[in-house]
Chain A
């Protein structure tokens, strides 16, 4: 058996590609395997090319794999488009009528008349994907009862005839493979550990993490790829005593968050880049009025409607700086589905403790990918609550009290003796409009001191992951979902004998300065891979630490691949060698 196995199913949207992928994923998770998936979405509402890739492993993995062990292609277009990702000795399973490219001779090819079996023998074209599942089950050694169990659950609400059709289709697939093909030795499902994992998408994890962090109010407006967060919460948050409200636009969503949060509840919204653009005025309001808020930005290709179904990490600058005036906020970026859960806890920890808006940056690939999650992740969520005010013994309540701590106690509106006004205008300690230079300076300093305190918060120290230790020639710094491929690239580069380390800050504003500075002092060259055109983290690092960086950017709408990063690492390592060769007059 293999320890690590990657499968890609490709076809046209509507052909059941995703069902095949999801079934294999769910069975694998039940078998105790770790997995990460990646899927593409057509921009069309119906139809268009789509694929789902799954990587199954006995070990914890954070990337969906670059080349696949097994490719399932349901039509010629899918075969032609996806064939290049098949490993040299891989297995190709395709519709019988497809022409296999000439350079595919080293692959093991299984041709199956999926469509004919479905139409002629089952009498239902749409059960084609279940025939695929049957053939796969036989070739990979997936136990048939597992699939039957899953199908019974999936079609529980449908008629018995439909379930029957699907069971028949499964059986036909298995029989066809058994009669026509011989199984390849050593090819198949890895063996899992006897533990069960939760299987969820990044968006589901964000929603779950928010609920577990104590969010009671969600306001949102539909936008790809963030809508599923609102959809999950619409079903589950009311059961937890919360409220979900779909507003007429993103401006309303964020302003409703401001209202609900001022009234004392943990509140949030989730959107994508175009939504954050509309929300940016309110980000300023939340900063100056010192109102806690959680804002999830699931990034997609931009600007404007851009590439609505494709991934990109191009909102970093928007997240850190997007608004008018000096408006501090916290920006954090989870790197995996598990972290989507815990980082929502971190977001509300910072938001409530420091009374500041917090932006959580994910991207389409992370939002949509399915990953195994430790069921105990929810218990690891940091909890925090807002500093509550006591009514003053005499005089008015000072909502924005200038004291040693930049965080002033807050009061729920209507608390006796704590009547106050929060305002988007510059204000004194009591919330009175004050535009004199002294007040504006003192209050701006107060608001920015929160970022200093956050930088030194014990939680912040945990929000930076280092890969490797000690001095290294090359250091790779990345963020968000690019961390997975970077981690794999570093492992590969080390196998090639290159001295390389990695750093993944998960809090991007404020940056974890101590760890960043230490890292930069220990590496000779810094590579910054990220999914945008301008190298947004790289320019942030150059501006903050004055370190020369080598940007590796990609805007193809898909995640970085480890080989691209390895190539850049090799290039940088070669350059370094030549430089030292020149300096010391030795031959490289």
Chain B
């Protein structure tokens, strides 16, 4: 186990105790690199994953290093491999469904060997792993946790759209409670997904990740800060990106931001990050966004037809609210501190 520490301040956080300098906030930087995920991809209209990948690549551009990506099978792979030029100057290895973490280790080992032979400098590269929630929470979990446990230097991004979308919307380990998917159908007796999803940052921290963060493309400054930090911090880092999916969530294609905002205001998605200090066995948690007024989760359920069955059942909505409150209660110390105008120092970041 580790000791939990909280950052007193809520908000964007370009600092890390593991980095000598803060990373770039694109608001200060001026021009954002334009060569992220470029045209030619085949993402659906309103896809959050496209925007997420684009921002990840743009943020990595700010580091000036060459991206070597291992991408697992999934939506992101399907939409970016028919026209590989959309990856710009990144080198991409599409591997199988279960082994994004393992391939990442292979890449890292090879770079080390090349460096020893004087043929490359590992510093010039960023080892990026990318997979969906199915490839992360389910079939790829063993490879991911093993990669983290090896303590290697790299960045793993999970594009979480909360189900298997490219194969026809089957439930995954990240599917929210009550969701109607083709393998967790909403029926008269069984009402959609009966499981509560797991949380990737928890799993990654338990395995020993140095830095974990959640992000969403609608808050691009926050996302791009987190990706830069994950790229700069020594050791395995994991960023999970909330990826709106009109196809699987049965939502309109033009409400990308509205859905994200509702997810944040209802605390269905929480923006936070955590940095692990192995020496002192502590983890410093930072909450990056706290809604001024908590909206009831029923509002988040409205815009998405995947919840159309469960949102009509008050006991299911209540249980969803309970799941949210339980998760949010983790932040009570930092919220209490902020209510007293930050007088009470929980931790000096």
Contact = CB atoms under 8 A, between A and B. Distances in A.
A157 B155 CA distance: 46
B247 A45 contact: yes
- Report which residue of B43, B166, B171, B184 has the largest number of chain A beta carbons within 10 angstroms of its beta carbon: B166
Contact of A230 (B94, B97, B170): B170
B78 interface: yes
B183 A231 contact: yes
B187 interface: yes
Contacts of B105: none
B168 interface: yes
A274 interface: yes
Interface in B119-138: 134, 137-138
A222 B172 CA distance: 9
A236 to B, nearest CB: 10
A300 to B, nearest CB: 12
A234 interface: yes
- Report which residue of A45, A250, A278 has the largest number of chain B beta carbons within 10 angstroms of its beta carbon: A45
A227 B170 CA distance: 8
B182 A305 contact: no
B97 A274 contact: yes
A59 B184 CA distance: 39
Contacts of B167: 222-224, 227
Contact of B189 (A43, A48, A238): A238
Contacts of A48: 42
A192 to B, nearest CB: 32
B165 interface: yes
B55 to A, nearest CB: 20
Contacts of B168: 222, 224, 227-228, 231
Nearest to B97: A274
B247 to A, nearest CB: 6
A18 to B, nearest CB: 14
A385 interface: no
B96 interface: yes
B268 to A, nearest CB: 23
B170 A305 contact: no
B62 interface: no
A249 interface: yes
A390 interface: no
Contacts of B242: none
Nearest to B171: A246
Contacts of A244: 183
Contacts of B138: 221, 248-249
B256 interface: no
Interface in B1-58: 42-45
Contacts of B183: 222, 227, 230-231, 234, 244, 246
A278 B78 CA distance: 21
Interface in A12-35: none
A235 B187 contact: yes
- Report which residue of B77, B98, B173, B190 has the largest number of chain A beta carbons within 10 angstroms of its beta carbon: B98
Given A234-B184, A238-B189, A248 B170 contact: no
A305 B78 CA distance: 10
Interface in A217-244: 221-224, 227-228, 230-231, 234-235, 238, 244
B82 interface: yes
A278 B190 CA distance: 30
**Chain B contact residues: over half helix, strand or loop, or mixed?**
loop
A44 interface: yes
Interface string B67-85: 0000001010111001000
A47 interface: yes
B44 A222 contact: no
Contacts of B190: 238
Given A227-B168, A231-B168, A235-B187, A248 B139 contact: yes
Contacts of A108: none
A235 B166 CA distance: 21
A234 B186 CA distance: 10
A45 B97 contact: no
Interface in A281-305: 304-305
A426 to B, nearest CB: 28
A499 to B, nearest CB: 47
Nearest to B139: A249
A249 B137 CA distance: 10
Given A249-B98, A274-B96, A44 B78 contact: yes
Interface string B132-172: 00100111010000000000000000000000111110110
A586 interface: no
B296 interface: no
A222 B184 contact: no
B78 A45 contact: yes
Given A45-B42, A231-B170, A222 B185 contact: no
A184 interface: no
A583 interface: no
A244 B184 CA distance: 10
B288 to A, nearest CB: 30
B42 A44 contact: yes
Contact of A305 (B73, B79, B171): B73
B46 to A, nearest CB: 10
B129 to A, nearest CB: 17
A305 B82 CA distance: 13
A274 B43 CA distance: 24
A418 to B, nearest CB: 34
A383 to B, nearest CB: 28
B96 A304 contact: yes
B170 A222 contact: yes
Contacts of B98: 249, 278
Given A45-B166, A46-B247, A246-B171, A227 B182 contact: yes
B185 A248 contact: no
Contact of A43 (B44, B45, B78, B182): B78
B124 to A, nearest CB: 29
Contacts of B139: 221, 248-250
A47 B139 CA distance: 28
A268 to B, nearest CB: 15
A305 B139 CA distance: 15
Nearest to B73: A305
A47 B170 contact: no
Contacts of B73: 305
A222 B134 CA distance: 9
Interface string A303-319: 01100000000000000
Given A44-B79, A278-B98, 20 more contacts: A45-B42, A45-B44, A45-B78, A45-B247, A221-B138, A221-B139, A222-B167, A224-B167, A224-B168, A227-B167, A227-B168, A230-B183, A231-B182, A234-B183, A235-B185, A235-B187, A238-B190, A244-B183, A248-B139, A249-B138
29 contacts: A44-B42, A44-B82, A45-B75, A45-B78, A46-B45, A222-B167, A223-B167, A224-B167, A224-B168, A227-B167, A227-B168, A227-B182, A231-B170, A231-B182, A231-B183, A234-B182, A234-B183, A234-B185, A244-B183, A246-B171, A246-B183, A246-B184, A248-B138, A248-B139, A248-B173, A249-B97, A274-B97, A305-B73, A305-B94
